[in-house]
Amino acid sequence: MIRKVVIPAAGLGTRLFPATKEQPKEMLPIFSSTANGEMSVKPVLQVVFEQLYDAGLREFCYVVGRGKRDIEDHFTPDPNCVRALEVMGRNGQASDLENFYEKLKTSTVMWVNQPEPKGFGNAVLMAQPFVQNERCLVHAGDSCIISKDMDYIKKLLDAYERFNADAAFIVLEIENPKQYGIIEGDEVKTGILKVKAAVEKPEKPKTNLAIMAMYVFHPVIFKALEATKPDKKGEIQLTDAIQKLIDWGLNVYAVKLDKSYAHLDIGSPERYWDALTLSYQRFCRRPSE
């Protein structure tokens, strides 16, 4: 059973400047709705946490960098905020926030600081003292997936267990795959691929199967990360470490989701606009619109 979750949230968000000059990009809001159907907005990072919590996970390690104190503050329960919403008559949002705080109180949350932006892979490596010798789930803090059943985490965990994988992750077909890690693989079951190659942001992608930043790993991933050389930017990429696992002959699988699943990514202004549009359509739009 997977117990531990690593959530890297240390990116500088430079492509979203000046909005992210003083605010972590992971705290940018997307649309959501309360339990009674009221429109609301939530930071992407809160949406990620709540999805993982609802999937049964309770131990979280956030990897943050300089200027990310806002994240720790947001994940610290503040009853005054709940009372303020109640005074304003926004009872649905007050109840929703209180529910978020209850989830935090029944979770274990650890914070790890990444002093320098050395890449997504380095951020995962810094969580090794938290993970120790256990399997773990890694989920980016600036992206999530939404669907009718919100079951993608269960599908990922099931595939990891069923195929005795050393690594498993989500992939989606993307129109412009150059900005993602791309995989090649052979389908071994409907929607499940045995991965034979993984490349980070290739100039000429051989497929349009893009890695979504949602993974499950055996602790061997930390050995792979330690053996992975920095790229041209001086960053350690998790995709390169996954290729290392493949080179070592280990079992790497991808779970391919169909088009009913929407990927929300706020890594650039264009993607953030898409995330706002998709989240509004999913949670807030009325049938008459």
CATH of the domain at 166: 3.90.550.10
| Residue corresponding to tokens 């999530």 | 144
Residues 2 and 126 in one domain: yes
CA dist., res. 16 & res. 150, Å (int): 28
User: At 175, which amino acid appears?
Assistant: E
Residues 171 and 285 in one domain: no
Residues 138 and 83 in one domain: yes
Residues 137 and 201 in one domain: no
The more confidently predicted of residues 24 and 168 is 168
- Asked if pLDDT for residue 147 goes beyond 90, the answer is no
CA proximity to 64, closest of 121, 7, 144: 7
pTM, to two decimals = 0.95
Q: pLDDT tens across 130-140, in order?
A: 999 999 999 99
**Least confident among 6-15, 98-107, 129-138:** 6-15
What's the domain range around 106?
A: 1-145+264-289
Tokens for 19? 């909005």
pLDDT mean across residues, the chain: 93
CA proximity to 217, closest of 196, 190, 244, 183: 244
CA dist., res. 213 & res. 276, Å (int): 19
How many domains is the chain built from? 2
Residues 40 and 137 in one domain: yes
Residues 110 and 193 in one domain: no
Q: pLDDT tens across 218-271, in order?
A: 999 999 999 999 999 999 999 999 999 999 999 999 999 998 899 999 989 999
